[in-house]
Structure 1
Amino acid sequence: MPGRILVVDDLATNRIMMKVHLADAHYDVLQAAGGRAALDIARREAPDLILLDMMMPDLDGISVCERLRADPATAEIPIIIVTAATDARSRLRALAAGADDFLSRPLDELILLARVRSLLRARETAQELALRDGTERLLGFSEPAQGFAPPGRIALVAARAETAAGWQAALAGRLTDRIVPMTRAEALSPDPGHAVPDLFVIEGDLGGPGGGLRLLTELRSRSETRHAAVLIVLPPTARETAAMALDLGANDLMTAPLDGAELALRLKAQMARKRQADRLRDTLRDGLRMAATDPLTGLFNRRYALPHLARIAERADRTGRRFAVLLLDLDRFKAVNDRHGHAAGDAVLVAVAQRLRDNLRAVDLVARFGGEEFLVALPDTDATAACAAAERLRRVIGAAPVALPGGGDLQVSASIGVAMGGAEAGTVSALIEAADAALYRAKSAGRDRVDGPATD
């Protein structure tokens, strides 16, 4: 489902132009003509991102941003402040108020859409954290978030040592984190005696045009640095490189020469997001492993899946968005155990679980529901997208045979039932029953197929 974006501007022409840009990229656009209306719509509709004009007659963008950040219901929504102002003071006010970014008019469509894509990816991570935390509390094994975070480590990577030293001087006294100039080689081969940097500030033209982007892709490909935050520094005219950097996984951008106060604000925001994401990964790895995962496949188990599905349903009821539940059952699985042994059956379950994991979004839920049955929940998904996802999973499961422990391989297939949830869709139990009935129809119709709701 495309992201839903709230455009806030008191000038109708500005709203229309923004809507055209976003609608062409298949985003769902909401509009508000003033700050107070924006606050009401944000609380009621829970958009995925807000594009907020800075100067409005009833309530200016800075005040709106501060109020959105102070309200738990809207605090995590990414905000881009859009204005005709270009001065450093306006940028600092916006960032200090909690804006994720600041864009000056006239807007560059390429940069705007790249920023939107980047922030929506970050939003998806934040939503996943909120869902996981809620589920863990229901299960009774969520630990309270730590109130104190130790200083982080920030690496400054530039082609010339003098450039990195200048950045370090600009940040002096503004951050409590440890700031370390590094060469490209040191960034790619961290000293075993030191912690891996939490955040990298990288010169875009590192050792030549595009060098910083090449370093970015290397960092994203390595397990040690894959989850580090990255801010790329570019010349003001490098618009295409800027868009490419965001799409390659840069978390933020700045143009040279750097303003120390603005850089510090951006680094603080990125460090906070990095710590939040680290907390999510640590919780999933450690807190849930024994209590909520299936020991064979590593997927979530039924105990986790049911309360998490209830959380998805609660959010859907609140926002008016739909979600899908898929029940997958491996065809003729009993025959696999009977003919090839339980070790072969286990190998099939592990392989199918991995194929499901590899073909779903981070925000989706996939669980081993019992025996050879799996449950998948797809938040923010309509019936057309849900059935398409089910068909994709069915094809992936049967695309390649599964290697068996004793040698040889085995072709497997799955039948899938799809049911849709959302406002007035009934209880979670009723939704699972509807998916189970669709699964039964798929089995009865010949197996290796999908049955679900009619699509538009």
Structure 2
Amino acid sequence: MSVTRKHRGKSGLQPTVLLVEPRAEELEKTRALLGEAGFRVVPLTRFEAVVPIFEVVRPDAVVLAVHSPDFAAVAVVRRLRQLGEVTVPLFYLMDPDQPEAWRFCLEKGLGVDMVPRNLSGSELALRLQSVLRLRDAVLRAKESGETEAGSALHDELTGVYNKQFLLAMIGQEARRSERYGGPFSVLACAPQGYRSFCKQHGEAMGERLLVYTAVVLGQTVRESDVVARVSDEEFALLLPAMEEDALPGLLARIATRFELARFQVEGKALKTSLLLGAVSFPDMVGTPAQLLNGAIQEMRRRSREARRWDVGMSRVSV
């Protein structure tokens, strides 16, 4: 399938994609695909040139081909983040027949979205279009946040978005997906044993744990993802262009990142973990509230299964 719709960036200009691919033949194929989809493409074959070119071009998105054994793309992402360039969507372009590269980027890829080279040729363009549309919507919402009315978009305690804003963004992404195609996912999470934690350590320490959770989520997910607090202890995320097959790796990455970060109480690091669950569109369809509730119910189902497993294993060990 060929994607020919034109997507306009700021001020009506074509969005610019910085494409980095050492293989000349693959570079030309991807450049042609993105050009046909309405993107202005700046092609590069050398990873060491990315940072200086980035600072001159200021692209709307960056696509970096991943090749083993050097994985230079990951080093470039690390450098961009050291420079503070975290508002531009980043993508790894992956060969589906290189499992070692997928595993490396899942473990050390700094949370950057991974896109397989696709026979239909449309997946990368659709993902870029989806992420840029959502990014523009979020930026508009943030700009409105400069007004008094815009302050209602955020949760006062954690600073992330609130449930109302998240539902509005889910509705917008659902309409976009129905019109143009492409998946998205909704993820729910909560600190495990939150209420017991509050009983033991107090409400003020519980609030600190929620702020800690929001910070870790913000550091782990992509810049284009929307993080919101949707109840006392529950958070939810809108993940544009995230298909169901990619969710297990993302859930594992978030869980690992949360466990590696250390939450301290009275100078002692506590082992903390997250309950996680997610649903994907179009595998699940419904209103924004139904999609959010579906993710929460999946999180709770996974939690019940984990508890049953723990009980079963303890009985076996006895």
Report the TM-score, using the length of structure 1 for normalisation: 0.41
- What aligned pairs does 1:170-189 form with structure 2 within 5 A after superposition? none
Which residue of structure 2 lines up, in the alignment, with residue 78 of structure 1?
A: 39
Asked if 1:314 is matched to 2:175, the reply is yes
Aligned partners of 2:236 and 2:292 also within 8 Å: no
Compute the displacement of 1:120 (Å): 10
Cα separation, partners in 2 of 1:386 and 1:120, compared to 1, 3 Å: farther
Q: Distance in 2 between matches of 1:424 and 1:338?
A: 37
Asked if 1:433 is matched to 2:310, the reply is no
Asked if 1:122 is matched to 2:67, the reply is no
- What aligned pairs does 1:322-333 form with structure 2 within 5 A after superposition? 322-333=183-194
Aligned partners of 2:24 and 2:45 also within 8 Å: no
Compute the displacement of 1:407 (Å): 4.0
Please, which of 192, 197, 217 is the counterpart of residue 336 of structure 1? 197
Kindly provide the amino acid, as one letter, of the partner of residue 335 in structure 1.
Answer: S
Compute the displacement of 1:360 (Å): 1.2
Which residue of structure 2 lines up, in the alignment, with residue 367 of structure 1?
A: 228
Q: Secondary structure, in 3 states, of the residue corresponding to 2:222?
A: coil
Kindly provide the amino acid, as one letter, of the partner of residue 432 in structure 1.
Answer: L
- What aligned pairs does 1:262-273 form with structure 2 within 5 A after superposition? none
Which runs of no fewer than 5 residues in structure 2 stay unpaired?
6-22, 63-78, 88-135, 310-318
Cα separation, partners in 2 of 1:355 and 1:222, compared to 1, 3 Å: closer
Q: Distance in 2 between matches of 1:332 and 1:296?
A: 20
Compute the displacement of 1:109 (Å): 4.8
Identity of aligned residues (%): 22
Cα separation, partners in 2 of 1:402 and 1:424, compared to 1, 3 Å: closer
Cα deviation digits, residues 9-63 of structure 1 (max 9, x gap): xxxxxxxxx9951498xx6975xxxxxxxxxxxxxxxxxx3259xxxxxxxxxxx
Compute the displacement of 1:408 (Å): 3.0
Q: Distance in 2 between matches of 1:23 and 1:344?
A: 54
Kindly provide the amino acid, as one letter, of the partner of residue 254 in structure 2.
Answer: L
Kindly provide the amino acid, as one letter, of the partner of residue 122 in structure 1.
Answer: D
Q: Secondary structure, in 3 states, of the residue corresponding to 1:286?
A: coil
Which residue of structure 2 lines up, in the alignment, with residue 44 of structure 1?
A: none
Aligned partners of 2:189 and 2:234 also within 8 Å: yes
Q: Secondary structure, in 3 states, of the residue corresponding to 2:227?
A: strand
Cα deviation digits, residues 163-210 of structure 1 (max 9, x gap): xxxxxxxxxxxxxxxxxxxxxxxxxxxxxxxxxxxxxxxxxxxxxxxx
Cα separation, partners in 2 of 1:23 and 1:440, compared to 1, 3 Å: farther
Aligned partners of 1:317 and 1:423 also within 8 Å: no
Aligned partners of 1:316 and 1:423 also within 8 Å: no
Q: Distance in 1 between matches of 2:3 and 2:25?
A: 12
Compute the displacement of 1:412 (Å): 1.5
Cα deviation digits, residues 287-329 of structure 1 (max 9, x gap): 4762111111111011211111111111111221001111112
Asked if 1:21 is matched to 2:26, the reply is yes
Compute the displacement of 1:381 (Å): 1.2
Cα separation, partners in 2 of 1:425 and 1:339, compared to 1, 3 Å: same
Q: How many residues align?
A: 221
Q: Distance in 1 between matches of 2:215 and 2:246?
A: 21
Cα separation, partners in 2 of 1:415 and 1:401, compared to 1, 3 Å: same
Q: Distance in 2 between matches of 1:383 and 1:282?
A: 29
Aligned partners of 1:21 and 1:109 also within 8 Å: no
Compute the displacement of 1:334 (Å): 0.6
Which runs of no fewer than 5 residues in structure 1 stay unpaired?
8-17, 31-48, 53-76, 81-100, 125-216, 228-275, 450-456
Q: Distance in 2 between matches of 1:387 and 1:426?
A: 22
Aligned partners of 2:145 and 2:153 also within 8 Å: no
Kindly provide the amino acid, as one letter, of the partner of residue 359 in structure 1.
Answer: T
Q: Distance in 2 between matches of 1:427 and 1:441?
A: 21
Which residue of structure 2 lines up, in the alignment, with residue 303 of structure 1?
A: 164
Aligned partners of 1:356 and 1:366 also within 8 Å: yes
Aligned partners of 2:145 and 2:151 also within 8 Å: no
Kindly provide the amino acid, as one letter, of the partner of residue 26 in structure 2.
Answer: H
Asked if 1:412 is matched to 2:281, the reply is no
Q: Distance in 1 between matches of 2:229 and 2:59?
A: 27
Aligned partners of 2:142 and 2:150 also within 8 Å: no
Cα deviation digits, residues 203-222 of structure 1 (max 9, x gap): xxxxxxxxxxxxxx89x747
Aligned partners of 2:188 and 2:234 also within 8 Å: yes
Asked if 1:401 is matched to 2:275, the reply is no
Aligned partners of 2:216 and 2:258 also within 8 Å: yes
Compute the displacement of 1:440 (Å): 1.9
Cα separation, partners in 2 of 1:430 and 1:280, compared to 1, 3 Å: closer
